[in-house]
């Protein structure tokens, strides 16, 4: 099969969908299975951390160990998601397969010992690494490699959140601000769906978020839209975008300052871990450690609790922002998306009272819009909101996500994301 597929790819300037079935499906199955393993492991180690709270004190040492792992074996893999984006833009040295087990191990270590991080970065990197290995093993021609990588990204993202359509749109939107690589949408859609099916086949159940039906006021409504609510979604979108900017700026600035003033690189994660321990005892809760989805105590603020009235404090969004920015800025591994969900939902919870909106509704908008503003992917976040919350909120989601992106045009969580259309990707099929 290897030689046959190689000949077909070499002699096909524009591969049909049948050919992408052979190139994309195996990668997507592997990415979905990897996400299932990751999610099960993540749930187990989170509960293990709850059962043994003393492990938090090992966080500085573990951070140094993570740095050692990447210095010893990482090489180019240390760049993570940004390496994958660069390889899609301009295929070069490829994405090393060892990125997958390394990011899986180091992300689990980050969560086990209390670092505040997410899971999307791990899933995307595992999917990209498997796609990179598939490209190399089959000898797929250079002009087709970016699309296989994008399908791997779609499979990883779609499977880890249970949102295959959002995974596909994210893969074609995240490369360049303001442009979709629509010629790769079909293989990415295939990757997102197959990855999600493969993950679900292992019995994985994703966290459920729900928004109640929005009551449309007859006085301020046009059709099925409430113009007053639409205005509030736009106003909240400004705040969501400002917080997205604050998160990206703070994360990058912590990394820059540590690099400038802490000349010994081995001390940087140790300092970051020590600060997290001090903050945890200063505020008197561990709710902002780890993923932030499971609760250790009934009074904990979690991503799920943010959808309920009084389910978050007025400054819960800022505390989660600080914990996550320190974790990632100090060099620990993990994604940004779930913490951004937490930050956005907590901010929406806080703003729902002064804006006089349903708490769950604005928490849902904030969950999507802060991520949209930080990643510059408003369409993917709108699609994700539709998959999670239902189509009746489509316009409100689109408005909040788009305005959040407008208010954070200068900073993004992905440094390799480009602000213009790169010529090197124009030939992607």
Of 350, 322, 325, give the one whose Cα is nearest residue 336. 325
- For the record, the structure tokens of 85 come out as 């984006």
What is the reported pLDDT for 425?
A: 41
- For the record, the structure tokens of 361 come out as 């509704």
Q: Are 28 and 120 in contact (CB under 8 A)?
A: no
Of 317, 279, 345, 290, give the one whose Cα is nearest residue 116. 290
Q: Which CATH architecture has domain 2-207?
A: Orthogonal Bundle (1.10)
> From CA 409, how far away is CA 419, in angstroms rounded?
10
User: How many DSSP H helices and E strands does the chain contain?
Assistant: 16, 2
Q: Are 358 and 320 in contact (CB under 8 A)?
A: no
DSSP string, 189-244: HHHHHHHHHHHHTTT--PPP---PPPPPPSTTEETTEEHHHHHHHHHHHHHHHHHH
Read off the DSSP letter of residue 178.
T
The phi and psi torsions of 374 (rounded to 5 degrees) equal -80, -30
pLDDT in tens, 118-163: 998 899 999 999 999 988 888 888 888 899 999 999 999 999 999 9
Of 379, 384, 367, 383, give the one whose Cα is nearest residue 405. 379
Helix axis angle, 164-173 to 185-200, nearest 10°: 140
Q: Which residues of the chain have pLDDT under 70?
A: 1-19, 216-223, 420-429
Rounded to the nearest angstrom, the gap between the alpha carbon of residue 64 and the centroid of all alpha carbons in its chain is 24
Q: Are 289 and 323 in contact (CB under 8 A)?
A: yes
pLDDT in tens, 28-72: 999 999 999 999 999 999 999 999 999 999 999 999 999 999 999
The CA–CA distances, whole Å, from 411 to 107, 375, 415 equal: 24, 9, 9
Q: What Rg, from alpha-carbon coordinates, does the chain have?
A: 21
Strand, helix or coil for residue 335: strand
Q: Which residue in this structure is represented by tokens 């250079």?
A: 142
> From CA 8, how far away is CA 15, in angstroms rounded?
8
Q: Which residue in this structure is represented by tokens 């660069």?
A: 86
pLDDT in tens, 305-319: 999 999 999 999 999
Strand, helix or coil for residue 333: coil
- 305 sits in which H/E element: none
What is the reported pLDDT for 409?
A: 78
Fold of domain 221-406: Clc chloride channel (1.10.3080)
- For the record, the structure tokens of 237 come out as 């979108």
> From CA 362, how far away is CA 345, in angstroms rounded?
7
> From CA 47, how far away is CA 278, in angstroms rounded?
22
Domain limits, CATH 1.10.3080.10, in the chain = 2-207, 221-406
> From CA 148, how far away is CA 48, in angstroms rounded?
36
> From CA 305, how far away is CA 181, in angstroms rounded?
37
The CA–CA distances, whole Å, from 161 to 6, 16, 199, 409 equal: 33, 28, 10, 26
């Amino acid at each position: 099969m290897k030689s046959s597929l190689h000949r077909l790819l070499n002699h096909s300037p524009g591969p049909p969908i049948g050919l992408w079935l052979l190139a994309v499906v195996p990668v997507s199955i592997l990415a979905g299975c990897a996400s299932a393993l990751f999610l099960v492991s993540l749930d187990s180690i989170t509960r293990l951390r709850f059962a043994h709270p003393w492990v938090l004190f090992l966080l500085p040492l573990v951070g140094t160990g993570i740095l050692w792992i990447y210095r010893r074996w990482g090489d180019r893999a240390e760049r993570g998601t940004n390496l994958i984006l660069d390889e899609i833009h301009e295929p070069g040295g490829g994405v090393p397969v060892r990125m997958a087990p390394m990011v899986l191990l180091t992300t689990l270590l980050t969560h086990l010992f209390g670092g505040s991080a997410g899971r999307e970065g791990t899933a995307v990197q595992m999917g990209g690494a498997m796609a990179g290995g598939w490209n190399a093993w089959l000898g797929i021609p250079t002009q087709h490699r970016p699309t296989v990588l994008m399908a791997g990204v779609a499979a990883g993202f779609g499977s880890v959140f249970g949102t295959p359509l959002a995974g596909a749109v994210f893969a074609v939107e995240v490369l360049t601000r303001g442009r979709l690589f629509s010629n790769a949408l079909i293989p990415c859609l295939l990757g997102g769906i197959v990855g999600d099916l493969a993950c679900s086949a292992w019995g994985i159940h994703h966290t459920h978020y729900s928004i109640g039906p929005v009551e449309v006021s007859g006085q301020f409504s046009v059709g099925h839209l409430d113009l007053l609510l639409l205005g509030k979604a736009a106003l909240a979108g400004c705040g969501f975008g400002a917080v997205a900017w604050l998160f990206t700026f703070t994360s990058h600035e912590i990394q820059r300052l540590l690099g400038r003033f802490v000349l010994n690189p081995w001390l940087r994660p140790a300092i970051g871990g020590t600060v997290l321990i001090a903050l945890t005892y200063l505020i008197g809760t561990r709710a902002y450690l780890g993923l932030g989805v499971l609760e250790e105590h009934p009074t904990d603020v979690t991503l799920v609790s943010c959808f309920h009235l009084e389910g978050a404090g007025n400054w819960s969004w800022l505390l989660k922002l600080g914990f996550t920015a320190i974790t990632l800025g100090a060099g620990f591994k993990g994604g940004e998306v779930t913490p951004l969900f937490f930050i956005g939902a907590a901010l929406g919870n806080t703003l729902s009272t002064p804006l006089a909106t349903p708490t769950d509704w604005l928490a849902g908008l904030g969950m999507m819009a802060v991520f949209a503003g930080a990643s510059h992917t408003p369409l993917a976040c709108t699609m994700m909101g539709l998959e999670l919350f239902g189509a009746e909120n489509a316009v409100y989601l689109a408005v909040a996500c788009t305005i959040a992106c407008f208010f954070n045009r200068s900073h993004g969580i992905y440094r390799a994301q480009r602000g213009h259309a790169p010529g090197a990707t124009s030939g992607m099929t």
